Amino acid sequence: MEKNLVVIVYDSILNSVFQGQIVVPLVNKLCNGRYKNGYIISFENETIDQRELTRITCMHPQLNIIVVRRGKFIAPWLLGLQTHKLYKILKKIPGPYDISARGALAGLLVLKIIKKFPQSTLTVQARGLLAEEYRHEHKHCRGITALLHQWRAKQYATIERLVYGLYSKTFNYTIEAVSAALEEYLIQTFGTNPACVVRAIDDIPFIAQPEKIKLWRAATREKLQLDSTKTVYCFSGAVKTWQDPLLVINYFTNLLKKNTNVFLLILTPQEEQFKKLLQQHLPESTYFVTAVAHEHVYEYMAAADVGLIFREPGIISWISRPVKAMEYEAIGLLVVHNNTVDWLLQRYGTNRSLQ
């Protein structure tokens, strides 16, 4: 029976990983003939520019995107309106479908209605820890604001316990974990049914062809006026509270004291934030900061020799599988990390120079 693929997004199509982690894998599946049509249903707080929507749908003739307006999250029991909206949308899409829900919030919406679509399947993508990330993001708040954020974090934790724990024992669906550390955490913390858990593989980037890497490297180094003897360190990613840019800057500052023939390439949507920090710590001639569309990120990464992944210690970092590390691998870069991510430790071992 020919199916359609439906991806439910709750963390916005403006998220920095949306292109590489959602759109590209979906388009690959459509190109491979695994599905008749692909649909992205995204719940958004803000109005999305129509040009952005058109850019996405132009990537494949069978790719469709549906934007649903949502308000601020308050509590799990107040998601009924959004659940009803999702049900009405799915009823209009020819079934059956394979549904992929990104994260616990999207997963909860689908689980509320999945029994009404008996021939369809559900995979909940566990990409991180919603409540822990929210707590970390608002850890500096004080007073009544802190109490409100603590309450909301508890609501997120309730959703995770339902989606990753209780419902995994009563519903027939798959939970896709990005790492062994996350899988272990889900089972031990939420009581996830181990039989439900699989490891995510569809979003692993393809290895770039060596000939293309050489061309990209030469072209980008020429654009940045970097000679072949320069060792280029690359940091690619958005600034998160557990991904402090000062970790990168301090590491490179120490490198520069030992070797002046090094250069720092920053690929980030937060250009101004990084530039202000770099101006305080490094000579302008030693770095370059730019925002690069996902389809061109490999071209810039190819100019580098080393990819940097520095995270603050803690459970958020420990259970992650950094997207940028996989992209560094795909372009053939040496990966340097600061021993805070289990996935990186298992793959590359301990970075003893930072101990």
Residue 102 pLDDT exceeds 90? yes
- Decide if 330 contacts 24 (C-beta within 8 A): no
Residue 226 is classified by DSSP as: -
Number of H helices, E strands in the chain: 15, 12
Which of these ranges, 205-219, 284-298, 341-355, has the smallest mean pLDDT? 341-355
Mean pLDDT of the chain: 92
User: Percentage of residues in the chain with pLDDT exceeding 90?
Assistant: 73
Please report which confidence band the pLDDT of residue 353 belongs to, taking 50, 70 and 90 as the band edges: low
Residue 23 is classified by DSSP as: I
Q: Which residue has the higher pLDDT, 16 or 269?
A: 269
Q: What is the pLDDT of residues 220-243, one digit of tens each?
A: 999 999 998 999 999 998 776 667
Rg (CA), the chain: 21
Say how many CA atoms lie within 13 Å of 149 toward its Cβ.
16
Which structural domains are found in the chain, ordered by start? 4-199 (3.40.50.2000), 210-354 (3.40.50.2000)
Per-residue confidence (pLDDT) for residue 160, from 0 to 100 = 96
Q: Facing residues of 263 across strands?
A: 232
Per-residue confidence (pLDDT) for residue 17, from 0 to 100 = 84
Q: What is the pLDDT of residues 136-153, one digit of tens each?
A: 988 888 989 889 889 999
Pairing of strands 197-199, 174-177: parallel
Pairing of strands 306-309, 334-337: parallel
**In this structure, how many other beta carbons lie within 10 angstroms of the beta carbon of residue 90?**
22
Please report which confidence band the pLDDT of residue 37 belongs to, taking 50, 70 and 90 as the band edges: very high
Residue 188 pLDDT exceeds 90? yes
